[in-house]
């Protein structure tokens, strides 16, 4: 059982929470906590040696904790996700392989693409693929079709696996802090098309990737995971693209693991992560 708690900080919270669990005969296997002193907020993640859902436990904890506390009791969590793609395959392929071998920590319900390019790889994994073209009708009409397709599956999260469409605030509002994106870390220095080619031409010495929750501000949502790797003058534009794709795949996989294991707390535009 995983228990996550976010609330106003006050003296004695750890002792109070531990006492309630002890009274319920629940053994704490792992406990991580953090206090944001500037914001006066308390964050906790517990792993409890029990897999029987207790409907009363959440209410017991909320009665003890400060008003407005967020408490989630999630026995043996297993998330459902929908993946959005365009044409690049590297992140999707990694997700499909992990899903096939049941190491993703979630179950992919379907893949939605605004181009049919990646339909074939989905078919190889018996994964439902929905092609919804962005070239027919208005952006609003296109997004409504995508939302309708997503909501058929009632996913916990929507993953943008190199999905190259800017989402409207109305779309983001349908899935608040539930859309996870991956992008190259050249932003904002290399905004727009061909970032790796432009980075090559600029002679950069580091390339990287950032996974984050999507907000209304383009590529400025709460960051979940980041990583960089060194490059040098021996890299061609093509080899830099390949290295960039590999690090994007790695960072997205790490971010998804953290989220699916309920290790990520969002506080304003920052995250608290218990790795």
Distance, CA of 65 to CA of 21 (rounded, Å): 13
CA distances to 22, 26, 31 from 48, in Å? 11, 6, 9
Distance, CA of 178 to CA of 82 (rounded, Å): 11
CA distances to 18, 30, 110, 143, 195 from 147, in Å? 41, 38, 13, 6, 29
Distance, CA of 160 to CA of 112 (rounded, Å): 10
9 flagged as catalytic: no
Q: Which of 4, 2, 10, 1 lies closest to 65 in space, CA to CA?
A: 10
Contact 188/166 with Cβ under 8 angstroms?
no
Contact 35/9 with Cβ under 8 angstroms?
yes
Task: Check 9, 36, 50, 219 and give the catalytic one.
Answer: 219
Give the CB-side neighbour count of residue 161, counting CA atoms within 13 A.
27
Scored b (16 or more CB within 10 A) or e, 242-274 reads ebbbebbbbbbbbbbbbbbbbbbbbeeeebbbb
Q: Give one word for 153, left, alpha or beta, with left for phi > 0 and alpha for psi -120 to 50.
A: alpha
Q: Per the structure block, which two tokens stand in for 241?
A: 């693209």
Q: Which residues are catalytic?
A: 219
């Amino acid at each position: 059982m995983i228990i996550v708690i976010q609330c106003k900080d006050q003296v004695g919270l750890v002792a109070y929470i531990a006492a309630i669990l002890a009274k319920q005969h629940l053994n704490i296997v792992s406990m991580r906590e953090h206090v944001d002193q500037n914001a006066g907020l308390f964050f906790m993640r517990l792993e409890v040696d029990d897999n029987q859902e207790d409907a009363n436990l959440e209410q017991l904890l909320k009665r003890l904790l400060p008003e407005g506390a967020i408490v989630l009791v999630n026995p043996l969590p297993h998330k459902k996700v929908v993946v959005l793609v365009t044409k690049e395959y590297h992140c999707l392929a990694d997700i499909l392989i992990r899903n096939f071998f049941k190491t993703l920590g979630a179950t992919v319900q379907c893949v939605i693409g605004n181009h049919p390019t990646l339909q074939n790889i989905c078919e190889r994994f018996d994964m439902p693929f929905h092609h919804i073209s962005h070239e027919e009708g208005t952006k609003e009409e296109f997004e409504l079709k995508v939302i309708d397709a997503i909501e058929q599956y009632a996913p916990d999260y929507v993953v943008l696996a190199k999905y190259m469409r800017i989402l409207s605030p109305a779309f983001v509002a349908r899935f608040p802090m539930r859309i996870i994106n991956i992008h190259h870390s050249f932003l904002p220095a290399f905004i727009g098309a061909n970032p790796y080619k432009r980075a090559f031409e600029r002679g950069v010495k580091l390339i990287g990737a950032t996974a984050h929750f999507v907000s209304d501000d383009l590529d400025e949502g709460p960051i979940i995971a980041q990583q960089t790797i060194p490059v040098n003058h021996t890299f061609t534009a093509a080899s830099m693209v390949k290295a960039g794709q590999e690090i994007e795949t790695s960072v997205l996989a790490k971010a998804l693991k953290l989220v699916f294991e309920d290790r990520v707390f969002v506080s304003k535009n920052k995250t608290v992560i218990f790795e």
